Amino acid sequence: MNFAEAEKYYNVLNKFQIFKSEFDKYTRDTTTGYYSYLCNEVTTLLSDENKYYENTCLDVLHYLKYMIKFDSQDDKHESCMFLNFYLNNSLNEIRNNILNATKFYANIKTKCRRSFLDMNICEKEIKDIHPFVLYAIKTIFNLYYLLHKYKSIPILDDEKHCLYAYKFVSIYENSKNACK
């Protein structure tokens, strides 16, 4: 992904909190042993860090299952952008990672050919995000996340309010100082 394409992400990052909330609900669904089987197939030969790849694979499959309910192409497009961000970020956090997002998604798609999931739904949006762009997207995402948390807590819970405000300001100040 080039820097010009990153602008598309900056324009929808404010909506990622909605997708993250839904993502967190659906990726915790552990009822499907078939997904575990598929992800075990996908990750078996990767590395000693299989469980990290397997968790990412499971999250992707559960989220794709959730995406079936979207009617709007805009919702699908933006939700796929979130999935791409999640996938790139998750793989980036795996120590000694050997796969990029496009290869990992292609591996999942290959193993899931016969599943009932529409593996093509996000194929156009799954791209490798340049590390610098990923860092910028993650920073802005975290700012939105903390702001969302801050706004959603009743004012009576001053301790949490202060914690989220402090973290927000810290990230903001670090970003601002990096721009000097």
Tokens for 26, please give them. Answer: 């659906």
Q: Tell me if residue 164 falls in helix, strand or coil.
A: helix
Number of domains in the chain: 2
Looking at residue 37, its pLDDT comes to: 84
Looking at residue 169, its pLDDT comes to: 86
Give which of 70, 88, 68 is closest to 9, Cα–Cα.
88
Query: Does 143 lie in the same domain as 67?
Result: no
Q: Which of 129, 150, 166 is the last residue in one of the domains?
A: 129
Query: Does 74 lie in the same domain as 20?
Result: yes
Query: Does 69 lie in the same domain as 11?
Result: yes
Query: Does 81 lie in the same domain as 18?
Result: yes
Looking at residue 31, its pLDDT comes to: 59
Query: Does 125 lie in the same domain as 135?
Result: no
Query: Does 134 lie in the same domain as 115?
Result: no
Residue 22 is part of which domain span? 3-129
Query: Does 72 lie in the same domain as 10?
Result: yes
Q: How far apart are CA 43 and CA 137, in angstroms?
A: 27
Query: Quick check: 60 and 109 in contact, CB under 8 A?
Result: no
Query: Does 45 lie in the same domain as 134?
Result: no
Looking at residue 86, its pLDDT comes to: 95
Looking at residue 2, its pLDDT comes to: 66
Looking at residue 173, its pLDDT comes to: 84
Other CB atoms within a 10 A radius of the CB of residue 89 amount to: 17
Looking at residue 80, its pLDDT comes to: 93
**The model's pTM:** 0.85
Q: Is 85 exposed, middle or buried (0-12, 13-18, 19+ CB in 10 A)?
A: buried
Query: Does 90 lie in the same domain as 17?
Result: yes
Question: Which ranges of the chain have pLDDT less than 50?
Answer: none
Angle subtended at Cα 4 by Cα 53 and Cα 178, rounded to the nearest 5 degrees: 80
Query: Does 154 lie in the same domain as 85?
Result: no
Query: Does 115 lie in the same domain as 140?
Result: no
Query: Does 11 lie in the same domain as 65?
Result: yes
